[in-house]
A and B are shown apart, each in its own frame.
Chain A
Amino acid sequence: AQTVTQSQPEMSVQEAETVTLSCTYDTSESDYYLFWYKQPPSRQMILVIRQEAYKQQNATENRFSVNFQKAAKSFSLKISDSQLGDAAMYFCAYTPNAGGTSYGKLTFGQGTILTVHP
């Protein structure tokens, strides 16, 4: 079974600085997707960034970028120039891109609460 682990329950960063959130996963699949989702307090879960496993290039979306290490099964999220609005719970998630009972299902990590200090 696939598992996703976020080893940092909480992280904090000063406004305008850079922070990296860690995520590791375990799977026997070779083709899959990885995601980072952001959920501000009492607000909607938003897709931040996605990575396709067969693409070697790390995904980037404005201030958000990932470091995808397929062999190490590591998928960290880097937030540059942190803003107060980045404060949220961040979930790392995995889904296989193949048939079977897990097809289409997201496996989430435990989440990391990010605090941004002004």
Chain B
Amino acid sequence: DAMVIQNPRYQVTQFGKPVTLSCSQTLNHNVMYWYQQKSSQAPKLLFHYYDKDFNNEADTPDNFQSRRPNTSFCFLDIRSPGLGDAAMYLCATSRRARAQYFGPGTRLTVL
């Protein structure tokens, strides 16, 4: 089945230690998104790629970066995680600006 896959599902890191989260998709969608979701809140968009074009949200901290080496893969890099970065990170994909399909998420814990 076509899907959005996120690895790892759970990530524990230490304060200030860089971490990379990965997302892959078999839907062949041209748009990929990264969201941060904290408990009982709506997801907050960090950035998205429309094809190869990178679009950063104005309030996304510089600590967060992303890479999309090809259509299928996208990575979220957190350069120096702080306690406030502990959250669920969701990857989503869409074809153009249609419905977004979400992966299962990576729960990040910062010690």
Contacts and interface: CB of A to CB of B under 8 A. Distances in A.
Interface of A: 33, 35, 37, 43-47, 50, 89, 91, 95-97, 103-106, 108-111, 113
Interface string B94-105: 101111111111
Interface string B10-46: 0000000000000000000001000000001111010
Given A43-B104, A44-B102, A45-B102, A104 B42 contact: no
16 contacts: A44-B105, A46-B102, A47-B99, A95-B97, A96-B97, A103-B50, A103-B97, A104-B48, A104-B94, A104-B96, A105-B48, A106-B43, A108-B42, A108-B43, A110-B42, A111-B41
B31 A104 contact: yes
Contacts of B94: 104
B76 interface: no
A50 B99 CA distance: 8
A103 B50 CA distance: 10
B90 interface: yes
Contacts of B48: 104-105
A44 B97 CA distance: 21
Contacts of A95: 97
Name the residue in A89, A108, A113 with the highest tally of chain B Cβ atoms < 10 Å from its Cβ: A108
A44 B98 contact: no
Nearest to A37: B102
Given A108-B43, A110-B42, A44 B103 contact: yes
Contacts of A97: 97
A111 B42 contact: yes
A33 B96 CA distance: 12
Contacts of B98: 33
Contacts of B41: 110-111
A45 B104 CA distance: 7
**9 closest residue pairs by CB, A with B:** A108-B42, A104-B97, A45-B102, A44-B104, A103-B97, A50-B99, A47-B99, A104-B31, A95-B97
Given A33-B98, A33-B99, A104-B31, A45 B90 contact: yes
B60 to A, nearest CB: 13
